[in-house]
């Protein structure tokens, strides 16, 4: 049984990775329904939150049906991060996660996200202070290192564990790699195999098929998988992986009816949560994957991603279902 603090997660939990403009409440709800064991919010800027920036505050919205849910925060200023914990606690998350892995330049340039990998002592000190500030379990998501020549993830994980984090998720790339090349899970396995480590070690990066999840579990011995890009427009991925774990066979193809129903619900929940304009715009990125593998679908997809009015997008869903509803797609 894998546990984060007192939260029991099963034998090999699947975690929805925090993704900017993706892992919002509507998408998290869909992933939870399809088998995600833990979901994380989009990452929240500590500086934005203490200044009451509307976008940052909105990211703190969580709902009972999502639990267990973690709120992920990023920043490099200790005082700001501690103030952020006080604000975040009011949303009553189950977990507070620290982002030490975001490779985006505007985050890294301020010493936050993966930028802090250049100052391991600050990373440790900041984490220690945050753990002291809250009774909630504090977890960390990070990368292997700043670049290939500075990979010290075994030491880093041990130091963070020693100051009190309850789990660590490691993306198998350095900051220098961004998202290029293949994720390297060997250093993550070295963290797990360190005899001093006793907290869960989750792998992240390139878990894009059920077989890869099995490999992470069986060949690398990790405690669970944190999954990001493979879930975009495919909340069923969690169900597909768990079905493969149980049977050794692939889950049946997702029907057109299921795809359209998920896309409809996703759009409607997004509109209900963030309004018509943003709801329509920010759901577009999912449609390519919702309808992946369907021949001659481009005209329908173009309507979905270029229409500014939700009624036109809903109409495009209906047209697609009418045209392809009886077909099966692998």
Could you list the active site residues? 102
Q: What is the DSSP letter of 137?
A: P
DSSP for 11-57, please give it: SS-EEEPP-TTTSSHHHHHHHHHTT-SEEEPPPEEHHHHHTT-HHHH
Spell out the residues 6+ positions from residue 250 whose beta carbon is closer than 8 angstroms to its own.
210, 240, 243, 244
- Long-range Cβ contacts of 262-269 (<8 Å, 24+ apart): 262/30, 262/235, 262/236, 262/290, 263/287, 263/290, 263/291, 263/304, 263/317, 264/314, 264/317, 265/26, 265/30, 266/26, 266/27, 266/30, 267/310, 267/313, 267/314, 269/25, 269/26, 269/29
């Amino acid at each position: 049984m894998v546990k984060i603090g007192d939260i029991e997660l099963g034998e090999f939990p699947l975690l929805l990775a925090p993704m900017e403009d993706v892992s919002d409440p509507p998408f998290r709800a869909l992933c939870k329904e399809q088998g995600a064991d833990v979901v994380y919010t989009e990452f929240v800027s500590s500086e934005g939150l203490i200044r009451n920036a509307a976008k940052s505050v909105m990211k703190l919205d969580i709902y009972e049906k999502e639990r267990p849910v973690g709120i992920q925060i990023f920043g490099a200023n200790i005082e700001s991060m501690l103030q952020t914990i006080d604000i975040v606690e009011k949303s009553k998350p189950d977990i507070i996660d620290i982002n030490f892995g975001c490779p985006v330049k505007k985050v890294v340039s301020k010493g936050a996200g993966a930028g802090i990998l250049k100052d391991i002592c600050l990373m440790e000190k900041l984490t220690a202070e945050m753990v002291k500030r809250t009774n909630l379990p504090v977890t960390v998501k990070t990368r292997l290192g700043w670049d290939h020549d500075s990979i010290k993830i075994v030491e880093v994980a041990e130091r963070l564990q020693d100051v009190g984090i309850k789990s660590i998720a490691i993306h198998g790339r350095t900051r220098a790699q961004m998202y290029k090349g293949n994720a390297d899970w060997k250093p993550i396995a070295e963290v797990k195999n360190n005899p001093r480590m006793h907290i869960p070690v989750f792998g992240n990066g390139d878990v894009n098929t059920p077989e890869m999840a099995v490999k992470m579990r069986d060949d690398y011995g990790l405690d669970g998988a944190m999954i990001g890009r493979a879930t975009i427009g495919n909340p069923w991925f969690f169900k597909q992986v768990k079905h493969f774990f149980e049977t050794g066979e692939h889950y049946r193809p997702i029907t057109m009816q299921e795809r359209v129903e998920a896309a409809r619900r996703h759009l409607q929940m997004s509109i209900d949560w963030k309004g018509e304009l943003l709801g329509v715009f920010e759901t577009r990125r999912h449609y390519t994957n919702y309808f992946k593998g369907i021949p001659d679908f481009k005209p329908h997809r173009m309507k979905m991603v270029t229409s500014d009015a939700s009624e036109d997008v809903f109409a495009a869903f209906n047209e697609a279902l009418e045209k392809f509803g009886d077909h099966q797609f692998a």
